[in-house]
């Protein structure tokens, strides 16, 4: 039985929505703990939510991850419980927001479309599936109810695609999207440590090509491996390859935004 629910949404903290989801979870499964991963995601920003949830899974793979950024609420899209190959359970809408998190946990093992009646839920209100379907489903899972008990199996191939692609290799180059820019302006690429190690076991410097930008920077362990104002590449708390400026914003300095493609190769 998993006692941690990791909660990501675009609800903000100025309304009652996050608190109501907490209340529903605690009422259904008092022994669980809810970790609020992020609630200040811009409204309807599925890409950002997917990146945040994937980072959360990388750091807390043993948790149940509840992810609610849902522009299509009430429009007939499915509510999902996704079981990954490494055992992490994801709960959220079928709009692609769960897919990167599933990648970080070994890929999708099985998927269930949540059926409220199977847990004796009331019919959900059209505008708040997070409170009326998704949070109760996460609570049930946290209290030991199996995914097959709360939904019906669906084909993995029928899921809505991820809002971004994972990195891939072409010869001696890794190609990946910029998936996220964090609060400090660090730029995260969809490249894992394992993928970079497959290219070169101990790289010292990396060359980046992003649009018209061409640069070569050291691959460090932490931000303080370079002087203030200098640029470094590293693997940050997200587990993704990151371009950062020590005590500065890489996104502002280089004009990089989520969604652009980057080409990465081993530097000289």
Characterize the bridge pairing of strands 33-38 and 4-9: parallel
* Residue 2 binned pLDDT confidence (cut-offs 50, 70, 90): low
Mean per-residue pLDDT over the chain, rounded: 91
Percent of the chain surpassing pLDDT 70: 94
Return the bridge partners of 66, or none: 7, 91
In which element (H, E) is residue 143 found? Answer: none
Residue where the block lists tokens 């950024």: 69
Half-sphere exposure of 117 (CA within 13 A, CB side): 1
Query: Domain spanning 4-158: which CATH class is it, in words?
Result: alpha beta
Tens of pLDDT along 210-264?
989 999 999 999 999 999 999 999 999 889 999 999 999 999 999 999 999 999 9
Could you state, in order of their start, the residue ranges of all structural domains in the chain?
4-158, 168-266
**pLDDT over threshold 90, residue 149:** yes
* Residue 202 binned pLDDT confidence (cut-offs 50, 70, 90): confident
**pTM, entire model:** 0.90
Query: Which superfamily does CATH assign the domain made up of 168-266 to?
Result: Bacterial fluorinating enzyme like (2.40.30.90)
Decide: 2 and 61 in contact? Cβ < 8 Å: no
What pLDDT is recorded for position 127?
47
Tens of pLDDT along 155-196?
999 999 999 988 899 999 999 999 999 999 999 999 998 888
**pLDDT over threshold 70, residue 110:** yes
More confident residue, 124 or 144: 144
């Amino acid at each position: 039985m998993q006692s941690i629910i990791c909660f990501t949404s675009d609800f903000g903290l100025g309304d009652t929505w996050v608190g109501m989801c907490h209340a529903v979870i605690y009422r259904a499964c008092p022994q669980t703990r809810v970790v609020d991963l992020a609630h200040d995601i811009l409204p309807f920003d599925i890409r950002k939510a997917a990146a945040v949830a994937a980072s959360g899974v990388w750091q807390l793979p043993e948790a149940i991850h509840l992810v609610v950024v849902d522009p299509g609420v009430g429009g007939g899209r499915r509510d999902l419980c996704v079981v990954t190959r490494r055992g992490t359970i994801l709960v959220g809408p079928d709009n692609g927001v769960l897919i990167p998190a599933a990648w970080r946990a070994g890929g999708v093992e099985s998927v269930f479309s949540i059926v409220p009646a199977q847990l004796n839920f009331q019919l959900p209100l059209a505008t708040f599936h997070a409170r009326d379907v998704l949070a109760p489903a996460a609570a049930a899972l946290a209290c030991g109810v199996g995914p097959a008990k709360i939904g019906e199996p669906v084909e993995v191939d029928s899921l809505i695609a991820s809002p971004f692609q994972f990195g891939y290799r072409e010869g001696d180059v890794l190609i990946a999207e910029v998936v996220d820019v964090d609060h400090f302006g660090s730029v995260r690429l969809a490249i894992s440590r394992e993928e970079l190690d497959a290219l070169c076991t101990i790289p010292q410097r990396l060359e980046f090509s992003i649009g018209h930008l061409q640069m070569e920077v050291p691959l460090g362990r932490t931000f303080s491996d370079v002087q203030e104002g200098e640029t470094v590449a590293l693997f940050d708390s997200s587990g993704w390859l990151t371009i950062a400026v020590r005590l500065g914003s890489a996104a502002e300095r280089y004009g990089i935004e989520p969604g652009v493609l980057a080409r990465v190769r081993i530097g000289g």
